[in-house]
Amino acid sequence: MNKIIGLALFALFASPLQAGDAAKGQAKTAVCAACHAADGNSTIAINPTLAGQGEKYLIKQLNDFKSKARNSAIMFPMASMLSDEDIVNVAAYYSQQKVQHMAVAEEYIEQANKLYIAGDSDRDVPACIACHSADAKGIATAGYPAIGGQQPEYTIATLKAFRSGARNNDDKEIMRMVAAKMSDPQIEALAYYLAGLH
């Protein structure tokens, strides 16, 4: 756990990001809207919400899709159509959109709240709050994503992909190390809890 927290703190000192033009970015998102909605609040369960996401994180993901460092038959052609400038501008646009949070079922609150704030010492799972902040808006300067208001099905699929290693574009393997220690019930509870966390 100390290694994970140390890596998280190291990332806070990352270099500042080039400012994007949100208006130009919006003009490039017509294709994105089919899966992520015009304002980035996806209504399709398996597609991520992009609204309110940190620019640095979005830039990394789009570049990873474009270079195939993050493999996706759907996102590779989409990202390939964007120039480096377009990617920065699209990230600026989505980062400025307001997230629409969902209601959280009572059954998930107690377990997930404890996991989010304190982690699980029995399984050596660190607290999510360390990298994703108290309101789940992430740490934009470090490139740690906003995870509040995210589609639960997407969060479940993402955590399981990190756990299996199918997704491996996380810096310093932080999410792979964390997800590897999480149980299915923890992943499910956390995913539904995060949908309403803000």
pLDDT at 12: 47
Domain pair 22-95 / 101-194, same fold: yes
The domain limits of the chain are 22-95, 101-194
Averaged over successive runs of 10 residues, the pLDDT of the chain (198 residues) comes to 52 59 97 97 97 98 98 97 98 98 95 98 97 96 96 98 98 97 98 95
Residue 81 has a pLDDT of 97
Distance CA 193, CA 148 (A): 8
Superfamily of domain 22-95: Cytochrome c-like domain (1.10.760.10)
Fold for the domain defined by 101-194:
Cytochrome Bc1 Complex; Chain D, domain 2 (1.10.760)
